[in-house]
Chain A
């Protein structure tokens, strides 16, 4: 778990690799974007990486990570300040706030964090979409997205947990 808030070079390198991974996951998701009801809505698989970064480096560095990720994804896929970008941003912000708090709790494992992250990611996306389109009819997408968020949140959290456990054993064995 994090020691100080200064970014070390080694951490920077590690986070850059993880960032590349997150963007690769996002690329994978955008090939499925025609299945989603909203532009810029996505499954949130990249959240897995965000959870890992949260547990490894702490909330502050994760925030920097997320800003970088959101901007890069905007440049590469959705465009900056387009509706798709804003929807993704809304989802990411809300889920970050909740996950940041949740990761420091001892009650939840990364799986629970993943579940909460996915849920609030979807809620955030819908809220932004509703504001953008001036219609509360979009709330009807919520149940489907929540239901969707359960397995994706579970799997991203599980993947993050497995990754972190492996890492811990690796470090312990060094």
Chain B
């Protein structure tokens, strides 16, 4: 082993450390994506961080139309033709892996975000 070999190791370690540091900083931006699924196929993919004002989305379903609203923080079901309106009562989802579902109309709202640790593991609704 020669001196230069050790130098290479040190340089590589420094590069790796810098790379990690840079990545840690980058992950703090929130890249939330709203996914709306109808009957298990994705019908909408919306990058929430680009949303400036509250937006309304009308989705045609079996018994009528579901109205979903979203802003840059999250989304919720405003109205639905389903009989129990459970989806409306579930409120707003703002964090990754949170979901709102309308079972009779087979609609699922969920938020995806790369690698960010959600604050809660689950919400009792």
Q: Is A–B contact present in the complex under a CB 8 A cutoff?
A: yes
B8 & A149 in contact (Cβ 8 Å cutoff): no
Q: Which residue of B lies closest to A158 (CB)?
A: B1
A contacts with B, residue count (CB < 8 A): 20
Question: A119 contacts which chain B residues (CB < 8 A)?
Answer: 12, 15
Q: Do most interface residues of chain B lie in helix, strand or loop, or is the interface mixed?
A: helix
Q: Which residue of B lies closest to A148 (CB)?
A: B16
How far apart are A14's CB and chain B's nearest CB, in angstroms?
A: 26
The answer, yes or no, to whether A107 is at the interface (CB within 8 Å) is yes
B9 & A147 in contact (Cβ 8 Å cutoff): no
B16 & A112 in contact (Cβ 8 Å cutoff): no
A146 & B16 in contact (Cβ 8 Å cutoff): yes
Interface residues on B, range: 10 to 19
Set A115, A143, A161: member contacting B8, Cβ < 8 A:
A115
- B1-25 contact mask (Cβ, 8 Å, vs A): 1 or 0: 1111100110011011101100100
How far apart are B79's CB and chain A's nearest CB, in angstroms?
A: 37
A107 & B16 in contact (Cβ 8 Å cutoff): no
Question: A147 contacts which chain B residues (CB < 8 A)?
Answer: 13, 16
- If A115-B12, A154-B9 touch, whether A107 touches B19 (CB-CB below 8 Å) is no
A143 & B5 in contact (Cβ 8 Å cutoff): no
A150 & B2 in contact (Cβ 8 Å cutoff): no
With A and B bound together, what is the CA distance between A146 and B114 in angstroms?
22
B23 & A143 in contact (Cβ 8 Å cutoff): yes
Q: Which residue of A lies closest to B3 (CB)?
A: A107
B12 & A112 in contact (Cβ 8 Å cutoff): no
The answer, yes or no, to whether A111 is at the interface (CB within 8 Å) is yes
The answer, yes or no, to whether A142 is at the interface (CB within 8 Å) is yes
- If A146-B12, A150-B13 touch, whether A115 touches B20 (CB-CB below 8 Å) is no
B5 & A108 in contact (Cβ 8 Å cutoff): yes
A143 & B9 in contact (Cβ 8 Å cutoff): no
Question: A115 contacts which chain B residues (CB < 8 A)?
Answer: 5, 8-9, 12
The answer, yes or no, to whether A30 is at the interface (CB within 8 Å) is no
Q: What 19 new A-B contacts, CB under 8 Å, besides A107-B2, A140-B23, A147-B16?
A: A108-B4, A108-B5, A108-B8, A109-B2, A109-B5, A112-B8, A116-B8, A137-B114, A140-B26, A142-B19, A143-B17, A143-B20, A143-B23, A146-B12, A146-B15, A146-B19, A150-B9, A150-B13, A150-B16
Q: Show 10 A/B contacts (Cβ-Cβ < 8 Å), sorted by A.
A: A107-B2, A111-B1, A112-B2, A115-B5, A137-B114, A140-B23, A143-B23, A154-B9, A157-B5, A161-B1
Interface, chain B (partner A; CB < 8 A): 1-5, 8-9, 12-13, 15-17, 19-20, 23, 26, 114
